[in-house]
Structure 1
Amino acid sequence: METLLQQMTGGQSPRRGVLIWLSLLCVVVIAAGCTGRLPAGMVGLIPFLMALGGVLNALGEHLDWVRNYLGGGPIVVIFGSSLLVATGGIPTELFTRIADFVRNQGFLALFISGLITGSLFGMDRRLLLRSALWYLPVVVGGVLGAITLAGLAGMLIGTGFVEAVFYVGLPIMGGGMGAGAVPLAEIFANISGSDAATVLSKMVPAVVLGNLVAIIAAGMLEKLGKIKPGLTGNGKLMKSQKAVRHEERVERIPDLAKMGTGLFVATSFYVVGYLLSHFISLHPYALMIFFVGLVKALGILPSRFEEGAALWGDFMVMSLTPALLACIGIGFTDLHQVAQMISLQYFILVVTTVMGAVLGAGLTGKILGFYPIEASVTAGLCMANMGGTGDVAVLSASRRMYLMPYAQISSRIGGSFILLLATALLGLM
């Protein structure tokens, strides 16, 4: 509970009376949710998700082996909340409300848009231009590593090179379900003359299990960075980047007017990306990143707007990350489906694909001046997860939330690259 309190109070040490009240409120809110007595709308969902995510996060941070080897709190939040769904601890009605809240009512878009604008507008302009130029080759390196190792593993265990690449490697690296596995299945079906539903049924297990393996791998990379400090920039992506001092960002005295400005800037730029997506066949997040990056590179936005966007992004990370992770566990992680798909051979293929992404992105990043762990997380694991929700989970497990813009480039633009690559490979075959 102390961890939850520190998140809610900006890192201050808890006092006994405050801790008691926080515990009581969490018990009341969680009990109301699990008994189906929450108020309608977000006024009921937000406190439930904050309480559940905060309590599970605190539990994960106090379990030494989970914190040291699996990423700590974020892992427990995701799997703990999904376990509550699988065991009936969360009623079906509440599950439906939470899934709709994060998918259709824009909670995920609000969170990611805040991180994108906050991270990009809080970044040095020269660094932004340089990293944008060299980042996409790192993504390609991760893809090549994943596909190569997946194919080799398929040959060794008897699945076959082609089968492993097309039904495990490419779907995992495709950027999720809606923008990855579904169009991949359609492409495969059109070229091969098979049924798209049958193809998709083979791909879905790889995408789901790959996402879970990527989250665990992110926690392990965070631990590796502590053991081998030379491999990580502790949040810096490039070696030429100035030190990222997160503690200074968190400890700034918030200017409430600037925070409101930041909320408006973040959501407005998301609207721009959404409108452009009607004319350009790219995801709104990808178009939003391009537009925000262009504005930042040109230096035309008033400094007050940039400061407000950075402040709003900090607020989202500090206050709502556990809540969003609880949403991911409840609405996007089906433990029954995971249990049905697990076999030793299949698990080996998935783990090998994810490790290929980590190694390929890390090695390419090192050559091009990136820190290997940050390159592996953003250009590797954020290609191997399930899009936006997977990005939040991976970056949270690796303690690198401020790299969200690069994670979104991997998920959105990298996902489009996978579709083109799959089309080209199928055409050759």
Structure 2
Amino acid sequence: MSEVSSATADTSVADKGFWPNGWWKVLNYKIGVVPLPLFVLTAVLIYGLVSTKGGLKPDITSMVAMFAFFGFACGEIGKRIPYLGKMGAAAICATFIPSAMVYYNILPAELTDATTKFYKSTNILYLYICCIIVGSIMSMDRKTLIQGFLRIFVPMASSAVCAMLVGTLVGMAVGKSAFDAFFFTVLPCMAGGVGEGAIPLSIGFSEILKQDQGAMFGKIIPMVMMANVIAIFTAGALNQLGKKRPELTGEGSLFKGADNDIGSLSSEGSGKVDITSLGGAVLMAVLMYLIGVVGQRLISLPAPVGMLFVAVAVKLFQVSSPELNDGMRTVYKFFQTSVTYPILFAVGVAITPFDELIAAFSVTNVIIIFATVMTAVSVGFFVSKKIGMNPVDAAIISCTQCGQGGTGDVAILSAANRMMLMPFAQIATRIGGAINVTLSLMILAKFFHA
């Protein structure tokens, strides 16, 4: 009996020692999703690779480690900023701290070059976007999907029209012409980002106005970035409003009283995750994007928009099996929690020029853009409330109308803790932006040819 008691006591003492329980507690302390010891080890290894012969190569294994280290480090800084940390500062810091590090030569040139080369050669953002979009759609209840895709157009269209009108009037009030205020300040905010918004807009301006496209793009891009920053902080503020006034939000559900919504277990799912279905789910998401690419080549429809339509059709007609739906939901959650900040770091280094961001911070532009974003959000909030939607969640969708394309959607929804709204954000950003750009260029062309 005494031997048993002694053995138990020895085991109890061992359990209280540092190894292994104490070590496991250290591993449970995380920076983002990375355990602290692994985070430190990552920093040491990155330094070792940069310092030794051969340097850091832009291969996927090295880039995964580097993106995770810097992305979660910058996100953690943002989270710890008093007050602003709860309003989306993490997403902003994950993008703009790296951009500033590049601009001020704080980030070693070798890391900058490797990140840029990897990002531009792989287009890894599109893998992230397709897994987020397809995954979130496959996680939706079909009834909610149908209702959402039909009803989101009402607050979206109202927000766009009112925001453009108010933004133009405010621009005139602060000394700009109606033409300059609308086409070069307000419209870029609502154009759908860079690739599908600012670039085609600059091409249209150069052809219609007979000016250099580079000059037009340089004039447009700061407005897109400034609107994106304001939209991110606004989305964070809306998230806080939802916590204080829970009756105004569905925490990711667009409709009041919805039993199943995005992010919850879809009624078409089996409730169990088969590990072997994860590979098929990722491939399904990629194939949907490739269908979008083919559609872009045939009918000039942006690939992410085409992918969105395909994913919706697959869900509506129940083409995907419950097992694939469950696998896609798991893939979606992984990308949402573990890939967002690393991707934002890469975006900040590779395609976010810090000097152009600073150029947007003129007092006049800030006033106009702030009025535009606030009008879009306010109208979206009150219109959605009138038609029975959760106003906070619908207003967050209105925020994405002023975002920087797919990248902006990621940052805005991350700041609002509403990544499950990605399909509706894609409608507002890409389809809404395409409509805004197309109609505005048609009006501009008719005006100058008249």
Name the counterpart of 2:348.
Answer: 329
The equivalences for 1:184-263 within 5 A come to 184-242=201-259, 255-263=274-282
d(CA) in 1 for partners of 2:381 and 2:238?
A: 11
Q: Give the letter for the 1:31 counterpart.
A: Y
Q: Pick the aligned partner of 1:15 from 16, 19, 25.
A: 25
Distance 1:55 1:144, change over 3 A: same
Matching of residue 49 in structure 1 with residue 59 in structure 2: no
Matching of residue 112 in structure 1 with residue 129 in structure 2: yes
The equivalences for 1:50-129 within 5 A come to 50-68=68-86, 70-129=87-146
d(CA) in 2 for partners of 1:313 and 1:390?
A: 18
The equivalences for 1:30-41 within 5 A come to 30-32=46-48, 37-41=55-59
The equivalences for 1:30-429 within 5 A come to 30-32=46-48, 37-68=55-86, 70-242=87-259, 255-378=274-397, 380-426=398-444, 429=447
Distance 1:102 1:241, change over 3 A: farther
Deviation at 1:412, TM superposition (A): 1.6
d(CA) in 2 for partners of 1:425 and 1:155?
A: 19
Deviation at 1:286, TM superposition (A): 0.6
Distance 1:318 1:292, change over 3 A: same
Deviation at 1:72, TM superposition (A): 4.2
Q: Secondary structure at the match of 2:299?
A: coil
- Alignment gaps of 5+ in structure 2: 1-22, 30-35
Task: Tell me the C-alpha RMSD between the 2 structures.
Answer: 2.6
> Mean alpha-carbon deviation: is it higher for 236-245 or for 383-392?
236-245
d(CA) in 2 for partners of 1:120 and 1:331?
A: 29
Name the counterpart of 1:9.
Answer: none
Asked if structure 2 preserves the Cα contact closer than 8 Å seen for 1:30 and 1:51, the reply is: no
> Mean alpha-carbon deviation: is it higher for 283-292 or for 187-196?
187-196
Asked if structure 1 preserves the Cα contact closer than 8 Å seen for 2:140 and 2:264, the reply is: no
d(CA) in 1 for partners of 2:395 and 2:198?
A: 22
Q: Pick the aligned partner of 2:41 from 22, 25, 28.
A: 25
d(CA) in 2 for partners of 1:247 and 1:297?
A: 17
Deviation at 1:361, TM superposition (A): 2.3
Asked if structure 1 preserves the Cα contact closer than 8 Å seen for 2:396 and 2:413, the reply is: yes
Distance 1:137 1:107, change over 3 A: same
Moved over 6 A (4+): none
Distance 1:170 1:339, change over 3 A: same
d(CA) in 2 for partners of 1:384 and 1:140?
A: 13
Report % sequence identity: 29
Q: What TM-score comes out, normalization by structure 1 length? A: 0.88
d(CA) in 1 for partners of 2:445 and 2:366?
A: 29
Asked if structure 2 preserves the Cα contact closer than 8 Å seen for 1:33 and 1:48, the reply is: no
Distance 1:191 1:55, change over 3 A: closer
Distance 1:73 1:198, change over 3 A: closer
d(CA) in 1 for partners of 2:386 and 2:117?
A: 43
Asked if structure 1 preserves the Cα contact closer than 8 Å seen for 2:274 and 2:323, the reply is: no
Deviation at 1:202, TM superposition (A): 2.4
Distance 1:161 1:332, change over 3 A: same
Name the counterpart of 1:5.
Answer: none
d(CA) in 1 for partners of 2:240 and 2:88?
A: 8
Distance 1:367 1:427, change over 3 A: farther
Q: What TM-score comes out, normalization by structure 2 length? A: 0.84
Deviation at 1:27, TM superposition (A): 2.5
Deviation at 1:244, TM superposition (A): 5.4
Name the counterpart of 1:8.
Answer: none
d(CA) in 2 for partners of 1:62 and 1:247?
A: 29
d(CA) in 2 for partners of 1:72 and 1:186?
A: 33
Distance 1:257 1:237, change over 3 A: same
Q: Give the letter for the 1:186 counterpart.
A: I
1:126-148 Cα offsets, whole Å, 9 max, x none, are 11111111222322122112202
d(CA) in 2 for partners of 1:300 and 1:63?
A: 45
Asked if structure 1 preserves the Cα contact closer than 8 Å seen for 2:89 and 2:233, the reply is: no
Deviation at 1:160, TM superposition (A): 2.8
d(CA) in 2 for partners of 1:366 and 1:90?
A: 46
Deviation at 1:290, TM superposition (A): 0.6
Q: Give the letter for the 1:201 counterpart.
A: G
Q: Give the letter for the 1:361 counterpart.
A: G
Asked if structure 1 preserves the Cα contact closer than 8 Å seen for 2:75 and 2:90, the reply is: yes
